Amino acid sequence: MKAVILAGGLGTRISEETHLKPKPMIEIGGKPILWHIMKIYSAHGVNDFVICCGYRGYVIKEYFANYFLHTSDITFDMGNNRMEVHRRHAEPWRVTVVDTGEETMTGGRLKRVADYVAEDEDFCFTYGDGVADVNISEAIRFHRAHGKLATVTAVQPPGRYGALQMQGDSVNGFAEKPRGDGGLINGGFFVLSPRCIARIAGDATSWEVEPLSGLAADGELKAYTHQGFWQPMDTLREKNLLETLWASGQAPWKVW
């Protein structure tokens, strides 16, 4: 099974990092967040990836072209013009990197890689800027059981601020960053039939607008509810939060 990952956005809200690299290449614990997302899928046996590039896509291509250099110990024998790789850390991945245009919207990027998933019964699809401990295997089983064209993972967004616990005008305590108001949102981590791509008009189409709304209106969209950890990386504050969790040795999304 394949996983298509959107990795072409500008990441304007985290421009401190993205002026030199695409957002999915921002590092958490010394590894691009794209690598973390791929490790999540790989832990569930999904090892065939299609990466939809755009802004500074060559950075992603160079990363995978030089993957051994990033993950292994290397001896450079300058006198003999030779390189020796020690302790190779290979992943069981097949990675297809596709230039889907700098200005293309999310739906348009998916449409541009349609040929790579056309022969598949279904495929995974997600964004390149968020991590979760989603049970990908269960989401796939759920999708195949209901028989509709699309499955979206529904999550409850994390709270941004701590909340006061009050009785009248007295403060009894504090709650650290409680979850949102109980409403569920699109958490990415889709499972889709390739037939969904026919609903995308072209480069200017946002996946989240016409295609997804149309699937819902036609009764072809089901939600797999995820109650666990989910965290996007839209701002420097959120990037620093993920760094802190990773440094603690207890990153919730580290399911491998």
pLDDT in tens, 186-239: 999 999 999 999 999 999 999 999 999 999 999 999 999 999 999 999 999 999
What pLDDT does residue 157 have?
85
What pLDDT does residue 244 have?
95
**Owner of token pair 């990415």:** 188
pLDDT at 175 > cutoff 80: no
In angstroms, the CA 159 to CA 3 distance is: 29
pLDDT digits (tens, 9 = 90+) for 15-24: 666 677 899 9
| Highest-scoring range by mean pLDDT, 12-16, 177-181, 229-233 | 229-233
What pLDDT does residue 43 have?
98
pLDDT at 182 > cutoff 80: no
pLDDT digits (tens, 9 = 90+) for 98-156: 999 999 999 999 999 999 999 999 999 999 999 999 999 999 999 999 999 999 999 98
Angle at 145 between CA 132 and CA 213, to 5 degrees: 65
Do residues 150 and 221 lie in contact, with contact meaning Cβ atoms separated by under 8 Å? yes
